[in-house]
Chain A
Amino acid sequence: MTTKQFMIVNRKAPYGTIYGWEALEVVLIAAAFEQDVSMAFLDDGVYQLKKGHQTKGIEIKAFEKTFGALEDYDVTKIYVDQESLTERGLTADDLTIAVEVLSRAEIGKRMEEQDIVLSF
């Protein structure tokens, strides 16, 4: 099968809308198709990776644990926008998995290298 570079871009907070969860489903399927998958987290999307999701009060299933399973799917290229973290008072230590923190310009370069960019 042809392998292409797919980047899934997450820009929205984990709950409030379904984009984060349904983007993760795309990541898992792309990985199952043995594509070269990466993820980028920008803007409020960085909150998706924040440790300690507690969703009981809003009666929505938390999907924080799914990020921990990405490695089993060989999805290891996880890029997080430095500026978005800083704007929200976060650092890499606040995140639930190991990621590569990159400048906005550097993420832009990675985007340019992709065959397909799916933005959610």
Chain B
Amino acid sequence: MKFAILVSEGPYTHQATDTAFLFAQAVLAKGHEIFRVFFYHDGVYNATRLTTPPQDDRNIVKRWTKLAEENNLDMVVCVAAAQRRGIVDDGEMKRNGKDATNLAEPFRISGLGQLIEAGIQADRLVVFGD
């Protein structure tokens, strides 16, 4: 089955992001496909490479990026939600005259249309939020 995942809460504050990750892992382990993971609302904070949790805690950002790299996952951060919350890639840095970027690879910033497309293309769009 082809899944899409929406993550709409921030890391550490809310368990939604942990559950989404564990779900994604389980989906792939069972041999299913993930069309896209989309990050919205505070979910965009899952994509900052500046996250530095204590050493004995899970690193939520690194965990996503590792899963994505190993499985060629498409992880998309909503551009409007990211701009509001200061999640910046090279393109956004130049466009908005900022002096830094913080988007972890291989996350990418794109529009909400990518969420709608994921809904259209996937057999199931699973929402992890409050």
Contact = CB atoms under 8 A, between A and B. Distances in A.
A29 B119 contact: no
Contact of A22 (B81, B113, B125, B127): B81
A52 B84 CA distance: 26
Q: Is the interface of A mostly helix, strand, loop or mixed?
A: mixed
A115 B119 contact: yes
Chain A contact-residue range equals: 20 to 34
Interface in A17-38: 18-19, 22, 25-26, 29-30, 32-33, 35
Contacts of B117: 33
Interface stretch (A1-9, A43-51, A79-87, A94-102): A1-9
B35 interface: no
B111 interface: yes
Task: Output the residue of A2, A118, A119 with the most chain B CB within 10 A.
Answer: A118
B27 interface: no
Contacts of A69: none
Contact of B127 (A1, A29, A119): A119
B116 A6 contact: yes
Contacts of B41: 18-19, 22, 120
A29 B113 contact: yes
Contacts of A115: 119
B8 interface: yes
Interface of B: 6, 8, 40-41, 80-81, 84, 111-113, 115-117, 119-120, 125, 127, 129-130
5 contacts: A4-B120, A18-B84, A19-B41, A29-B113, A35-B119
Given A2-B120, A25-B80, A33-B113, 4 more contacts: A1-B120, A29-B113, A30-B119, A35-B116
